[in-house]
Structure 1
Amino acid sequence: MRPPTAPVPCRMVLALVLALVLAGCSPGVEGLDPHATARPAPVAASTTAAAPSTPPTPPATPSTPATPATPGEPGAPELLGSFDVGLAPEVSGIAASRREPDLLWLVDDATGTSQVIGVRHDGTTAAEVTVDGLDAVNLEDLAAGPCGAGDPSPCLYLADIGDNVAGREAIAIHRIGEPAPGDTTAVATTARYTYPSGPVDAEALVVGADGLPIVLTKEEGTTRVMAATAFADGALVQTGQMPVPQPSSPLLTGFVGLSVTGADASHDGSRVLLRTYDSVVELTAPSPGAPLSDLAAWTAAELPAAPEGQGEAVAYLPDGRSYVTASEGSGSLWAVSRS
């Protein structure tokens, strides 16, 4: 999705800031500390036991510092590869394949999107899969996960959840079996959901071991956690709300706001990555088996992020520790490695 439009002078300043930042950070990560550790991000999480009847009051300014992220120290962002930007010029979601270790899936958020794109880690195109019947309104994220609690086979979840004017009566999550090598088409099962407090914009989706979608809303300075109780038409339930941690280098935040633009859950469900226009934040569960729907109460830590112009896509890599990001209009895949 396009971020909120800034006045013309601000947009010119924004372009200059991005040009200076990108000029100082080459793909070889010059200018970035290769031994950087996770940067603490102030956050104070709060949970909501039941769905509110009216939009909740924004939480107070966070003051509690987040603890360092685990596991292992992250390195600096490095250019992993470059994909054909013409296949996904407005890339808004990315997910690591659960079939092939060297495969990433991408989705584009242009109106009418009907495909998922597979690329290798170096960006080489591996698949172009048309989803039968898919005519997305605003496809904003992509998640990989099991096809259900009793079905461990791999699925992809396509989140048609974008709503910049907060006017959609319902959102849609499309589930397809992860395409096998050589597949060119897929058939989707679709669940349509409503929000407990009315329409709201969202760009982030995670899916847990039970195969149930969890949407994170895109709101200024905060995000609400909206969980499905079944993969079927119905209402989402608000299970929590948290302030979005302030980035340590807020280059874009002052122009386009502070909000969650993408997310991904680790394979074991113990950690969640959040993307903002300026940062990557990792949430860590307090104990093994903690419900993914309680993620608003998890410990947060800021991790290194590449200087991207419009970062909306983030995903864990197959090792479950390292991660990859992508931005609209660039065709670049940036990775951060962790031991």
Structure 2
Amino acid sequence: MNDSGNATVVFTLRPDCSVASSRSVGVTGRDVEDLARGADGTLWLADLGDNDRERTTIALIRVPTSGRGQVVRLTYPDGPHDAEALLLPADGRPVVVTKEGGGFGRIYTTDAPVTDADEGPVPLRAEGEVRLPSSTTEGGPASFLGRGLITGGALSADGRSAALRTYTDAWLFPVGGPTADDVVAGLRATPTQVPLPGEPQGEAIAFTLDGALLSAGESPSGGPRARLHEVEVPRTAPSPAPVAVPTPAGTSATAGTTDDADGDAAAGIAAGGLAVVALVVGVWWFGRRRS
């Protein structure tokens, strides 16, 4: 789906990455940067982007299987942050990881599950930080800096593995249980590095149901369309178990944003001028944005 400056529309993609359908969310996100799938199959758009660090609140947009999206606003305990990664474990408590640079991100979660009934803003609680090891992987914009910028996140379908990505690598963390506290604890462990294919501006990361990773990056304006890559996870990494996830009618799996709704089977996924996040459950959902 598209991010800031565009209508908030979710696109469903076929296995060949052509667009099968589109759906207006009914509310306009300010800077949607990620998308997660709740345990009940609903989608949560992560309106977390704040490049200028000036927002008094951020938001999650709940996308039910039918009807208008509902906005849940959240607030940091220590002032504005720019963030592009949302992890949503089975207990419904979102885990937000900020984009600080240098392989460093701050971790926040809530005390209780978020619902569309929350009047908000819901306070986030600081849960420390994540530190990524150094990397020499090439690729992405200004790779020296991009290696340390957290641009996306995903949980495996079984909840046993969390991924954070930079412009060049995915980093996989073991998760010992179904709660936000388990995810936070996992992010304090030493991660396994998975170098990603060179992407113009890689901001998409997601797990397939059999435990592989999907990654993609946006295309420069007027440039070639971005490709969606499937990347094998090393055997030494946290190993998600294959899972059959029931998908309610009209929904798929986690996704994010794309700036081009045409699709392109030969080139993978159309990324346009903004970034992307994707996951597979029968059909492909895609997206995330440039920051």
Q: TM-score, normalised by structure 2?
A: 0.70
| Other-structure match for 2:62 | 175
| Other-structure match for 2:45 | 158
| Other-structure match for 1:262 | 152
Tell me the C-alpha RMSD between the 2 structures. Answer: 1.9
248-257 or 302-311, which deviates more: 248-257
Measure, in 1, the Cα distance between the counterparts of 2:163 and 2:145.
Answer: 23
Higher RCO (C-alpha under 8 Å, 6+ residues apart) = 1
Measure, in 2, the Cα distance between the counterparts of 1:299 and 1:120.
Answer: 36
Query: Using a 3 Å threshold, how does the CA distance of structure 1 residues 246 and 337 change in structure 2: closer, same or farther?
Result: same
Match of 2:185 among 263, 269, 294: 294
Deviations 1:228-281 (A, max 9, x none): 223132210111202122223144332556210000011222211111011111
1:309 offset after TM fit, Å? 0.6
Letter in 1 for 2:218: E
Q: Secondary structure at the match of 1:143?
A: strand
Letter in 2 for 1:211: G
Query: Using a 3 Å threshold, how does the CA distance of structure 1 residues 223 and 164 change in structure 2: closer, same or farther?
Result: same
| Other-structure match for 2:195 | 304
Measure, in 2, the Cα distance between the counterparts of 1:123 and 1:245.
Answer: 33
Measure, in 1, the Cα distance between the counterparts of 2:19 and 2:32.
Answer: 20
Structure whose alpha-carbon radius of gyration is higher = 1
| Other-structure match for 1:198 | 79
Q: Is the 8 A contact 1:217 1:225 kept in 2?
A: yes
| Other-structure match for 1:281 | 171
Give the structure with the larger strand fraction: 1
Q: Are residue 272 (structure 1) and residue 153 (structure 2) matched?
A: no
Measure, in 2, the Cα distance between the counterparts of 1:295 and 1:194.
Answer: 23
Letter in 2 for 1:248: T
Measure, in 1, the Cα distance between the counterparts of 2:98 and 2:20.
Answer: 31
Deviations 1:18-77 (A, max 9, x none): xxxxxxxxxxxxxxxxxxxxxxxxxxxxxxxxxxxxxxxxxxxxxxxxxxxxxxxxxxxx
Measure, in 1, the Cα distance between the counterparts of 2:2 and 2:132.
Answer: 24
Measure, in 2, the Cα distance between the counterparts of 1:110 and 1:265.
Answer: 24
Measure, in 2, the Cα distance between the counterparts of 1:253 and 1:283.
Answer: 22
Q: Secondary structure at the match of 2:42?
A: strand
Q: Is the 8 A contact 1:115 1:129 kept in 2?
A: yes
| Other-structure match for 2:229 | 334
Alignment size in residue pairs: 218
1:120 offset after TM fit, Å? 2.3
1:191 offset after TM fit, Å? 1.1
Match of 2:8 among 114, 118, 124: 114
Q: Runs in 1 of length 4+ with deviation above 6 angstroms?
A: none
Q: Is the 8 A contact 1:240 1:296 kept in 2?
A: no
Measure, in 2, the Cα distance between the counterparts of 1:333 and 1:229.
Answer: 35
Q: Are residue 247 (structure 1) and residue 129 (structure 2) matched?
A: no
Q: Is the 8 A contact 1:202 1:217 kept in 2?
A: yes
| Other-structure match for 1:235 | 123
In structure 2, the gaps of 5 or more residues are 220-224, 236-291
| Other-structure match for 1:138 | 31
Q: Are residue 211 (structure 1) and residue 211 (structure 2) matched?
A: no
| Other-structure match for 2:215 | 325
| Other-structure match for 1:80 | none
Q: Secondary structure at the match of 2:33?
A: strand
Letter in 1 for 2:148: L
